[in-house]
A = this chain, B = another copy of it.
Amino acid sequence: MIDPMAFRAQFPVLDRLAYLNAGTEGPLPAAAVHAVRERIDLEAGQGRCGRPYFDSLVELAGKLRAGYGSILGCDPSEIALTGSTTDGVNTVISGLDLKPGDEILTSDEEHPGLLAPLGRARLRNRVSIRVVPFVELPGEVKSSTRLVACSHVSWVGGKVMDVAALVATGRPVLLDAAQAIGAISVDVHSLGVDFYAASGQKWLCGPEGSGCLYVRPERLSDLVVPWPGYGSLADPHNPLEFEPAEGVSRLDHGFPGGMRSVWALASLGVFSEAGWDWVHERAATLAEMLARRLGERGIEVAPRDRSTLVSWKSPDAEADVARLASEGFVVRSIPDAGLVRASPGAWSSEEELEALVRAAVT
């Protein structure tokens, strides 16, 4: 039995603030602080060289791969380590052999981090981008659609995509999982998606510049390694041959830095120790409570599903966010949507959400 207050006590920022913005960046657990301090002492005191050092980096990267895999219900061999959701999206969009006239179908509730790579494909590969309302997406897939690229959970207000309906179309599906990984229960195999791009610094409370990309093994050969480095090669002695390394790790993006790995792993450890089922259930329950209580007080909550985001209408969202910040509530606005968005997590408390409702109503 998890004690919610003991769990919450592991996040120092919550002593000071009603920190409700994991949808941007998550709160850091004390375990991550400890891991970072140990790591910098090690690197400074022992140096960063030699075979054992590099073996340890590879081992840490392997543990992180396994950590992300276990959250997504897949094997570590199906996971590439990236620096962001955007990295994962770029990997897929640049890796596919997109041709002029190919259609990518997307929704009207996507983040610029997904749309920027699509914009580039439009300009560079003369790919056609069709934008349709989020909830209508599955019905809009055509047999000629080259790729569906959209959010699993909308960053705007927390709607959840009908992934089963998307996958049933038989067309390749890339999900932006920035608001899904760590937030809701995910099993990429049951979902049946092809590509799943996620962030490490949001609901997983890892460092800036962390994330992962799941690739369905059958789809790996569809992707040319788009951003190759030393680790992408089967044989670093023959780089010009460009024979790719085995498995999805050939798509790893950037250096497997030790600091990134130990920080990300320390944060994951806090959740896996509590149990992901408990974490998801607690966060969903709190978010649902927040949405209900706002509604009871006459505030218009944006359409949402069972997720960890709660957004509400505001005549001046920017001003509301600033006012709430001055009262100790960390939330954000959604540009152009007239919404204030809160991101309660398993670390949140009923008391702070009740206080937020009171503050939002004023």
A residues apposed to B, CB below 8 Å:
12-13, 16-17, 19, 21, 24-30, 32-33, 36-37, 40-41, 43-50, 57, 83-84, 86-87, 90, 94, 112-113, 115-120, 122-124, 129, 131, 201, 207-209, 224-230, 232-233, 236-237, 239-242, 254-255, 257-260, 325, 330, 332, 335-336
Contacts and interface: CB of A to CB of B under 8 A. Distances in A.
Contact of A228 (B33, B44, B116, B224): B116
Given A257-B207, A335-B237, A28 B43 contact: yes
A119 B325 CA distance: 51
A209 B330 contact: no
B25 A116 contact: no
Instruction: Give the copy number.
Output: 2
B116 A239 contact: yes
A227 B330 contact: no
Contacts of A236: 112
A96 to B, nearest CB: 12
Across chains A and B, which 8 residue pairs bring their CB atoms closest together, nearest first? A119-B242, A208-B257, A115-B239, A25-B48, A116-B228, A28-B44, A21-B49, A36-B40
Contact of A129 (B12, B17, B123, B240): B240
Contact of A47 (B19, B122, B225, B232): B19
A201 B49 CA distance: 12
Nearest to A254: B83
A208 B24 CA distance: 24
9 contacts: A13-B45, A24-B48, A27-B47, A33-B44, A36-B36, A118-B239, A131-B240, A208-B255, A209-B209
B112 A227 contact: no
A304 B184 CA distance: 57
Nearest to A26: B48
B84 A50 contact: no
A200 to B, nearest CB: 10
A208 B119 contact: no
Could you say which of A26, A47, A84, A335 has the most chain B C-beta atoms within 10 Å of its C-beta?
A47
Given A86-B229, A118-B240, A336-B237, A254 B47 contact: no
